[in-house]
């Protein structure tokens, strides 16, 4: 199979996993350190994020309410009462109807609870500043985008369009996170969870959000009339959080429209190299791309995580405290991957 060069070097979902059937060292420490070099493109993403965040900070600092107010407001949407209520509800459901039974204080749950704290304290400010910086930069570089060609349309059609296009942009960003090595290095952390639960929704590298900024583009294009109302936005965030729950729900017929926990679990399948079920809330983009795999009734839940543990994980025998694991996981994308590429036959 001839693979274009850029694809050959950008096989993240494949390269980060160990060749099937070969025994791999479960320790990320042993022997790996010497081979790893600086991943320059990962640092570039960090630098770009810092630049955008600085732009965002400056823009917010000159507004009457200031950055602090903006960060609090964003936090109330991203991890506000509705989202926390869903987390509490899912934690209860995971006790009653678990897909994979495990104790509440399992190491994976504790690590992802720490990520919830990181999300509130670090990711929310990062997302706020990045988002503002991205908006300022886009409007400066492409002022034509705010001409609002759809201003005459009824508001509800623009809102519907904004939700759908935002979801489509999230799909594209997620797809690229699985196809481009630089992005994958930041996204791999989310996939490294072997004990998936509702808390895994918050297990994300703060810098992964840089690539998802494109999801804001439809709003710029549709203008303020296409701005997604707060209630709709909260429902959207709730629907994007719930699929991580450790339950067998496939949502019945609705599961062919919305991403369900069973459907998203297959995206986290440690044995599936293709990167299927990339949808955030709607399934349609996976269907259009031929990347939708629906759960079959009665089948056992798939094992999640990354084979060969290319990202340091809390389940390793020598993992150390959850804070040590956190630090190692957050700095991991800055270094070249530990795993060798897969043999040709294992590729798609
Ligand atoms: Zn993914
Ligand atoms: Zn996920």
Predicted confidence (pLDDT) per residue in 48-75, tens digit: 999 999 999 999 998 888 898 899 988 8
From the CA of 251, how far away is ligand 2's center (Å)? 17
Q: How far is the CA of 244 from the centre of ligand 2 (A)?
A: 6
pLDDT above 50: residue 106: yes
224 Cα: distance to centroid of ligand 2 (angstroms): 30
Closest CA to 16 of 305, 308, 234: 308
User: What is each CA distance from 292 to 176, 190, 238, 277, in whole angstroms?
Assistant: 16, 20, 21, 5
pLDDT score of 256 more than 70? yes
Q: What are phi and psi of 268, to 5 degrees?
A: -95, 10
Ligand in nearest proximity to the CA of 188: 1
CA of 194 to the centre of ligand 1 (A): 14
pLDDT given at position 232: 92
Query: Residue 288 in contact with residue 257, Cβ under 8 Å?
Result: no
| Other C-beta atoms lying within 10 Å of the C-beta of residue 223 | 17
**Nearest to 220, CA basis, from 143, 326, 330, 160:** 143
Q: Is the pLDDT of residue 324 over 60?
A: yes
- Judge whether 228 and 236 are in contact, CB under 8 Å: yes
What is the mean pLDDT of the segment spanning 194-222?
A: 92
The torsion angles phi and psi of 78, rounded to 5 degrees, stand at: -70, -40
Instruction: At 266, list the tokens.
Output: 């297959």
Nearest to 118 by CA among 180, 222, 205: 205
The torsion angles phi and psi of 38, rounded to 5 degrees, stand at -70, 130
| 106 φ, ψ (degrees, to nearest 5) | -65, 155
What distance in angstroms lies between residue 59's CA and the mean position of ligand 2's atoms?
A: 32
Residue range 255-283: average pLDDT?
93
Q: How far is CA 93 from CA 170, 246, 259, in A?
A: 27, 8, 18
* Whole-angstrom distance, CA of residue 190 vs CA of residue 21: 24
**Mean of pLDDT values over 33-46:** 79
Ligand 1: centre distance to CA 187 (Å):
7
Residue 186 pLDDT > 60: yes
Task: Compute, in angstroms, the gap from residue 117 CA to the centroid of ligand 1.
Answer: 21
pLDDT band at 127 (very low <50, low <70, confident <90, very high): very high
Proximal ligand: closest to the CA of 277: 1
- Is the per-residue pLDDT at 10 higher than 50? no
Share of the chain above pLDDT 90, in %: 61
Query: How many angstroms separate the CA atoms of 194 and 268, rounded?
Result: 9
Q: Kindly report the average pLDDT of the chain as a whole number.
A: 85
Cα atoms found within 13 Å of the Cα of residue 250, Cβ hemisphere only: 14
Q: Confidence band (pLDDT; 50, 70, 90) for 23? A: very low
Distance 59 CA to ligand 1 centre (A): 32
For residue 236, the model assigns a pLDDT of: 94
Task: Output phi, psi for 232, to 5 deg.
Answer: -65, -40
Instruction: Tell me, in angstroms, the distance from the centre of ligand 1 to residue 218's CA.
Output: 22
- Give the closest ligand to the alpha carbon of residue 176: 1
Query: Taking 80 as the threshold, does the pLDDT of residue 132 lie above it?
Result: yes
Question: CB atoms < 10 A from the CB of 129, how many?
Answer: 25
Q: How confident is the model at residue 47 (pLDDT cuts 50, 70, 90)?
A: very high
Give phi and psi for 282, each to the nearest 5. Answer: -105, 145
Q: What gap in Å lies between CA 10 and CA 4, rounded to an integer? A: 10
Cα(16) to ligand 1 centroid in Å equals: 13
Band (273; pLDDT cuts 50, 70, 90): low
173 CA → ligand 2 middle, Å: 13
Asked whether residue 12 carries a pLDDT value surpassing 60, the answer given is no
The residue with greater pLDDT, 146 or 109, is 109
| Rounded distance between C-alpha atoms, residue 281 and residue 190, angstroms | 17
Ligand 2 centroid to Cα of residue 192, in Å, is 10
State pTM to two decimals.
Answer: 0.85
Mean pLDDT of 25-50: 70
Measure 176 CA to ligand 1 centroid, in angstroms.
9
Please check the confidence at residue 207 and state whether its pLDDT lies above 90: yes
Whole-number Å distance between alpha carbons of 36 and 335: 6
């Amino acid at each position: 199979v001839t693979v274009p060069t850029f694809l050959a070097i950008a096989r993240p979902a494949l390269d980060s996993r160990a060749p099937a059937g070969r025994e791999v060292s479960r320790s990320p420490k042993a022997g790996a350190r010497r081979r790893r070099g600086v991943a320059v493109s990962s640092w570039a993403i960090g630098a770009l994020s810092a630049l955008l965040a600085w732009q965002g900070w400056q823009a917010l600092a000159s507004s009457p309410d200031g950055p602090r107010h903006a960060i609090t407001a964003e936090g109330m949407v991203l991890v506000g009462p509705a989202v926390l209520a869903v987390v509490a509800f899912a934690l209860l459901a995971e006790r009653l109807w678990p897909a994979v039974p495990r104790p509440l204080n399992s190491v994976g749950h504790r690590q992802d609870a720490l990520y919830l704290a990181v999300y509130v304290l670090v990711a929310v400010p990062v997302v706020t500043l990045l988002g503002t910086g991205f908006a300022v930069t886009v409007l400066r570089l492409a002022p034509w985008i705010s001409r609002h060609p759809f201003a005459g349309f009824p508001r509800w059609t623009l809102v519907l369009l904004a939700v759908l296009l935002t979801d489509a942009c999230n799909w594209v960003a997620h797809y690229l996170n699985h196809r481009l090595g630089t992005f994958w290095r930041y996204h791999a952390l989310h996939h490294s969870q072997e004990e998936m639960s509702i808390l895994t929704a918050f297990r994300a590298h703060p810098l992964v959000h840089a690539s998802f900024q494109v999801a804001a583009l439809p709003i710029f294009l549709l203008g303020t009339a296409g701005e997604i109302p707060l209630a709709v936005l909260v429902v959207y965030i709730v629907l994007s959080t719930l699929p991580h729950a450790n339950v067998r729900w496939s949502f019945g017929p609705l599961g062919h429209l919305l991403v369900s926990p069973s459907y998203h679990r297959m995206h986290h399948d440690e044995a599936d190299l293709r990167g299927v079920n990339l949808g955030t809330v709607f399934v349609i983009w996976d269907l259009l791309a031929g990347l939708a795999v629906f759960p079959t009734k009665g089948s056992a839940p798939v094992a999640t995580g990354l084979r060969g543990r290319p990202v340091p994980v809390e389940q390793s025998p020598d993992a150390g405290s959850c804070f040590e694991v956190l630090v190692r996981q957050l700095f991991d994308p800055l270094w070249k991957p530990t795993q060798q590429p897969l043999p040709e036959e294992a590729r798609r």
